[in-house]
Structures are given as C-alpha cells and as structure tokens.
Structure 1
Amino acid sequence: MSDTTLRATAAASGASATERFLADKAVTSTAVPRTDTARVSTLATELITAVHDIIRRHQVTYDEYNALKSWLISVGQDGEWPLFLDVWVEHAVEEVATESRQGSKGTIEGPYYVPGAPELPSTGALPTRDNEAGTPLLFRGQVTGISGEPLPGALLEMWQADDDGLYSRFAPGIPEWNLRGSIATDHEGRFAVTTIQPAPYQIPTDGSCGRLITAAGWHAWRPAHLHLKVSAPDHDPLTTQLYFKGGEHVQDDVARAVKPELVIDPSPTGNGGNQVTYDFVLDPAS
C-alpha cells in the first residue's frame, strides 16, 4: 500500500465529496426541495414510522438510541453523508428512476464524479501519470439509439480509481484529472479509450461509515469498476458502472450496484494488456 493510500483519510474524502456535491448539484445545505408538502409529509411520516416500528420490534434501549444519535452527529462532522447515502441508499433510488429504461442498464453515480474532465477525441487515452501502475486496457464500443441508429458526437464522461483504488480529486498526491476524461464519439458513434484496469477498493473506513461497518460485522469493499456518463442530444443520459468478470466482490458489492448486464469480460491483447468492447444504447428523451 502506497503512502498516498495511507493519507487518503475518510475525513478528507468525506469533505471533498460533500463540497463536490454542493457545487455540482447546485444546492446548498439550506435549499428547499421542489416537492409539494403532501409528498414531503407522506415520505417523512413513513420514514419516521418505520424507525418507530424497528425500535418497538427490537426493543431498542436508551444506550442504543444514544449511540445512534452520537453516530448521526459524527456522520455530519466527518462529511460522510454523501458516502453513506451513495453506498447504502442510492442503488434503490436508481432502480426506481430507471425501471422503464429500454436501452442500456444504469447504476449508481457514487460520490466521486467531477464534471469538466479534459475533452478527448473518439480514439484516445485517459490522462495518466508516467508509468501509471495497472494492466493496460483498451475499452471500445459504439453509442446508438434504441433503434440501432449511431449517435455521432455522443459524450462519454469516464472516471475511475487507480491501481491503489484511489480517485483523483479525492486523494492527495494524484494529478487533478488523472484517469478522467470526456470522450466524443466519431461519425459512427464509436469510441476507443486506452486506460488501465482499476483495482477493487475499500470505502473509507476510518470515519463514521467505517465505524458502522465494524459494528455490524460487514465488509467495506467495492469491486473494480469503470464509471461512465453517456449522453447525446435528444436522448436521456445514462449513468453506469462496468465491472470485471471474476473480480473480487462482484458478487457482494458493499454498494449493491452490480447488475449482470454491467459485467464485462476483457480478453488479452497479446502485449500484456486487455481489451473489451461494450456498446451503449440510449433511450429517446422522455
């Protein structure tokens, strides 16, 4: 494990994720949701009622209640609400939001997306450090509509962890746009991106989320994956992740974000690297 890995603390990652969410989603901590009062009342009442039911069913004690209160306070102090929600809640929201999708499957965005990554041609390479560690990967495919029509100029925003399981912009000592890029497809909607295969990684465990994992006896691992946002004019954007067949924790992802359709199976290129083809199908704008 590198010195960089050791310095990537939960507090630093949590603070970065919170700051990025507030900036990218154009919200503030005091923003008023654009939801009518009846729906807010319904959702809040059912959530609180579910908590009451759990307390009564499991005979929760005051010691347990106070431990929960202390933990909730620490989640905010650590800046780990984006991490907590993205790991344990977002997958259910994503399933509801995309249940009528006809094209490619999506999954969670996670806390580490950053807009504005360097623009790349349809055939290019993600920015990397000199002698970037990891197995080289050629990732290529085509973006089409649901009728099979190519989508030239479609945009693939791609980001990933490095061979230590760390993300640029969220861990120290990594160049700003390392392993991040925005790829425009060619006139046939095709793309070919050179990168490296990422590593599985643990979500930060030295903060509040880590304390929950330890107390519950869970594991903290996410399988290796590529993140992508795929968009084109007059089509619904797609947010997804691609996982590697046979990889560690594909079957027991802590974030429950793996779907069978999102598992890729790269083949050797013969020069020490791997290659894989994966096509994206976008739904028409709803």
Structure 2
Amino acid sequence: MTGTTTEQATAAASGSAATEQFRSKQCSGATDVDTKRVDSLVSELLAAAHDIIRRHRVTYAEYDVLKSWLIQVGEDGEWPLFLDVWLEHVVEEVASENREGSKGTIEGPYYVPDSPVLTAEATLPRRDDEPGTPLLFQGRVTSVDGTALPAAKVEIWHADDDGYYSQFAPGLPEWNLRGTVIADGQGNFRIRTIEPAPYQIPTDGSCGRLITAAGWHAWRPAHLHLKVSAPGHQPITTQLYFKGGSHVTDDIASAVKSELILDPGPAADGNGREVTYDFVLDKA
C-alpha cells in the first residue's frame, strides 16, 4: 500500500467515520424496549463473563487492563469495527436462517447510504488513474420463483487496489468505487469497476492492540459489498469474495461462505476479468 492515502489513514480517523455513519442510521425500535428481553440477554451475557472470570481466575491486573482497553475502544471510535468484525457474522446468521434466496453476510462498518444512482449498464465512480485490474460484474435479480425484478436496486461499494474505502481514508474522492445501480426491465445489471485488494482492518487502534495481544492476524480477503432490494421483497446485504484469494479461508471477520465466492474469468473484451452472479430475493 503506497501513497498519500496510506500515509495518512489511521484507525482513529476510520473509527470516527464509522461511528458517525452508525449514529446517522435510523435505529427503529430503539425506544420501544421489551424489558424482559433486555433482562434475559444482558443477564446471560453477564453470566457468561462471570463464568470466564471464575474459570480462568482473572486477576485485578487483568481486569484493569480490560477496563482500560474498553475505555480506549470508545475513545478510538472503534466499537463499530469491533462489533462488526467479531460479532456481526453470528447476528447475520440468525437473522437470515430462514431465507430461501441468495446468501447474505455482514454489512461491515464502511457502508454509506445514498451513493450516486447509475443505470443498469454502469461504471462506478473512480479516479482517472484508478489502479487495479478492471472487473465486469454482471448478473440478474429475480424473486425466488424466478420472476425478474425490474428496476431492482443494487448498491455496491468496495475497497480500492490499496485496500482503502472512500469516506474512511483521506485522499480519495467522496464516492470513489461506490454506486447505486438500477437494474433494467429484466432485472439485469452490468457494473464496471476494479478488483479490490485484501486489507488489514486498522491495527494502530484498540482493535489492533487486541489482535497483537492475542496473536491473531488482521486480514480480510478482497471482496465486493452489495445491498440488493426490490419492492415486495426482503433486501439482502452480502459480500462476494474471489476464489483463490488471500485469506478467503481465514477471514478475521468470519464472514466468508462458500456460496459467496466468485470465480472470474478473462473479460470478453480482453480488458481485465469478468464474472456473473445472480441475486434471488425472498418475498417480504
């Protein structure tokens, strides 16, 4: 990773941006709390923590380190990163267990709504000298019964060839490699972009210190992020990975599923690679 973006990107800046994006969401039901549900979940969470303390004979010194680290996670703005990397994949698994259509996976902390609207034959916003291998990503959106979903919305965003996301690292145009593609009358879309790179989650903040202390790696495999939706159907959030790519088998976020692995081939026009991937949406 080279250049201005690499030199200036920090965990604190990325964490702050992720936190602000999360705060801007409309969290439905936040003021309508079932106290019995809260009691059950929090009591079981605390009981699990108590059990860990007793089984591992946690010392006051270790307890104080934990307390200091939790405070620093908040100060770094890294709670969205921590939760999305280590917990979200299980929440997604529970939420989508009854889906019949395409597989979903985690959203992650780098989604930004209201990206530029593009036609079904689209090129994502990019720099004039955008580095990376050109990629044609194409497919069709249908219902579970095979019916095409005209004008389905395909939101797509991903890291650049250095592993950085626009709006979460300096030196990148606001909507670089982000767009909302509207499928045609038969549910088809063709999106021209570049292949993203694998990247490490920010390691100079609190999450990085946890990774170092535990002896883990910090890498996510290269992937495309997508949100696909159509009226009368359940939206799906997913990530698509690349066959043979680094860390597909040991993603730190545990978000890879076999159904989400792409296998691009040479592009028909000789420019980079291309792949077809269809989305099937469940009825609402």
| TM-score, scaled relative to structure 2 | 0.97
Q: Deviations over 1:225-255 (max 9, x none)?
A: 0000000000000000000000000000000
TM-superposed CA distance for 1:176, in Å, is 0.4
CA distance in 1, matches of 2:271, 2:131: 13
The answer on whether the counterparts of 1:158 and 1:180 sit within 8 Å (CA) in structure 2 is: yes
Counterpart for residue 195 of structure 1 = 193
1:59 aligns with 2:57: yes
TM-superposed CA distance for 1:3, in Å, is 2.6
Counterpart for residue 79 of structure 1 = 77
CA distance in 2, matches of 1:5, 1:284: 43
The answer on whether the counterparts of 1:105 and 1:262 sit within 8 Å (CA) in structure 2 is: yes
What SS does structure 2 have at the residue aligned with 1:243?
strand
The answer on whether the counterparts of 1:163 and 1:199 sit within 8 Å (CA) in structure 2 is: yes
What SS does structure 2 have at the residue aligned with 1:24?
coil
Q: Which runs of 4+ in 1 moved over 6 A?
A: none
Counterpart for residue 88 of structure 1 = 86
TM-superposed CA distance for 1:131, in Å, is 1.4
Coordinate RMSD, CA, aligned: 1.1
Q: Deviations over 1:37-72 (max 9, x none)?
A: 111000000000000000000111111000000000
1:277 aligns with 2:276: yes
Identity over aligned pairs, percent: 67
1:126 aligns with 2:128: no
1:205 aligns with 2:196: no
1:4 aligns with 2:5: yes
What SS does structure 1 have at the residue aligned with 2:127?
coil
CA distance in 2, matches of 1:154, 1:210: 38
Counterpart for residue 254 of structure 1 = 252
Counterpart for residue 102 of structure 2 = 104
| TM-score, scaled relative to structure 1 | 0.97
TM-superposed CA distance for 1:32, in Å, is 4.7
How many equivalent pairs are there?
Answer: 282
CA distance in 1, matches of 2:185, 2:137: 18
CA distance in 2, matches of 1:272, 1:59: 59
CA distance in 2, matches of 1:177, 1:194: 15
TM-superposed CA distance for 1:211, in Å, is 0.3
Structure 1 residues 54, 33: closer, same or farther in 2, change over 3 A? farther
1:23 aligns with 2:24: yes
The answer on whether the counterparts of 2:159 and 2:196 sit within 8 Å (CA) in structure 1 is: yes
Letter in 1 for 2:3: S
Q: What runs of 5+ residues in structure 2 fail to find an aligned partner?
A: none
The answer on whether the counterparts of 1:24 and 1:115 sit within 8 Å (CA) in structure 2 is: no
CA distance in 1, matches of 2:32, 2:214: 35
1:174 aligns with 2:177: no
The answer on whether the counterparts of 2:4 and 2:171 sit within 8 Å (CA) in structure 1 is: no
Please identify, of 271-280 and 230-239, the stretch whose mean Cα deviation from structure 2 is larger.
Answer: 271-280
What SS does structure 2 have at the residue aligned with 1:60?
coil
CA distance in 1, matches of 2:30, 2:185: 43
